[in-house]
């Protein structure tokens, strides 16, 4: 199987799962639509007692159990996730004024260190069972915000779940697939070569000075806008804008495949 065929197969699987109702993502007991729910939607459901963090984690764990044998986006789930959810529910009953990420499950790319029962392997068996000295700085900030660490996602550098000899093109593909198929609402990747662009709510939580990475973050921290990045969100931000599309030479290798038509469909959706 060639690289193009592998990528097309992945796209077709994702379309079938995400857009054709592979599973009804509604918890009937809660009467709350978790499918495609945003962080704000989930927090409103918490406030209105239509949802708890435990119910949310249970839902995502069920989704992972059902979909992951096909998609293989999640490498490992956190055995302490439900305990963290119970803790978040207790804290919410005591004080409702908490971070937007409080009680929200988050999946992490498996190159992001966690000092807990989870492995940090980058998808490599060579690192299975190794221990990291501490949480990565972004993980510490997520925990401080009350987020629930749900598990770790796959990478392409060491492991392609579809074709062992090929790359799915994007080392944060596990993080992307897990969100696209509603196995979690928030997933963290890393930007090395076009993998992912962080969601603004998560960025506001994890951005900032890291004393262990003094030289790299001291100057950058000064550029963080007062009030965070959320203030710049604008649902009509693209209205009236012109976006240039470079088809050549990038689409030439995909001539005759479904990739081109899928690309054009998404472009029409943006229009």
Catalytic residue numbers read 109, 171, 195
- Whether a cis peptide bond, with omega within 30° of 0, leads into 249 is yes
Q: What angle do CA 220, 224, 230 make, to 5 degrees?
A: 145
Q: Are 159 and 115 in contact (CB under 8 A)?
A: no
Closest CA to 11 of 177, 158, 164, 190: 177
Q: What angle do CA 29, 33, 37 make, to 5 degrees?
A: 140
If DSSP codes are grouped into helix, strand and coil, which group holds residue 44? helix
Cβ neighbours, 10 Å, residue 206 = 20
Q: Alpha carbon of 3 to those of 72, 238, 259: distances in Å?
A: 18, 33, 12
């Amino acid at each position: 199987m060639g690289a193009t065929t592998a990528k097309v197969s992945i796209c077709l699987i994702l379309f079938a799962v995400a857009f054709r109702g592979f599973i009804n993502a509604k918890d009937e007991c809660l009467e709350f639509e978790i499918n495609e729910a945003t962080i704000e939607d989930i927090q409103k459901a918490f406030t209105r007692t239509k949802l708890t963090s435990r119910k949310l984690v249970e839902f995502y764990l069920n989704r992972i159990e059902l979909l992951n044998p096909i998609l293989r986006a999640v490498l490992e789930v956190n055995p302490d996730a439900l305990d963290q959810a119970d803790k978040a529910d207790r804290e919410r009953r005591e004080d409702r004024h908490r971070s937007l990420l409080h009680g929200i499950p988050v999946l992490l790319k498996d190159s992001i260190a966690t000092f807990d029962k989870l492995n940090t392997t980058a998808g490599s068996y060579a690192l299975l069972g190794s221990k990291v000295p501490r949480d990565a700085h972004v993980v510490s900030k997520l925990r401080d915000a009350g987020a629930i660490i749900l598990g770790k996602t796959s990478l392409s550098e060491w492991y392609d779940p579809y074709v062992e000899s090929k790359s799915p093109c994007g080392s944060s593909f596990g993080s992307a697939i897990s969100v696209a198929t509603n196995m979690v609402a928030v997933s963290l990747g890393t930007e090395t070569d076009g993998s992912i662009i962080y969601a603004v709510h998560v960025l506001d939580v994890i951005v900032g000075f890291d004393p262990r990475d003094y030289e790299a973050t001291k100057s950058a921290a000064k550029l963080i806008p007062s009030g965070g990045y959320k203030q710049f969100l604008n649902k009509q931000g693209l209205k009236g804008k012109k976006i240039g599309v470079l088809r050549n030479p990038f689409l030439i290798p995909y001539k005759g495949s479904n990739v081109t038509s899928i690309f054009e469909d998404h472009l029409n959706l943006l229009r």
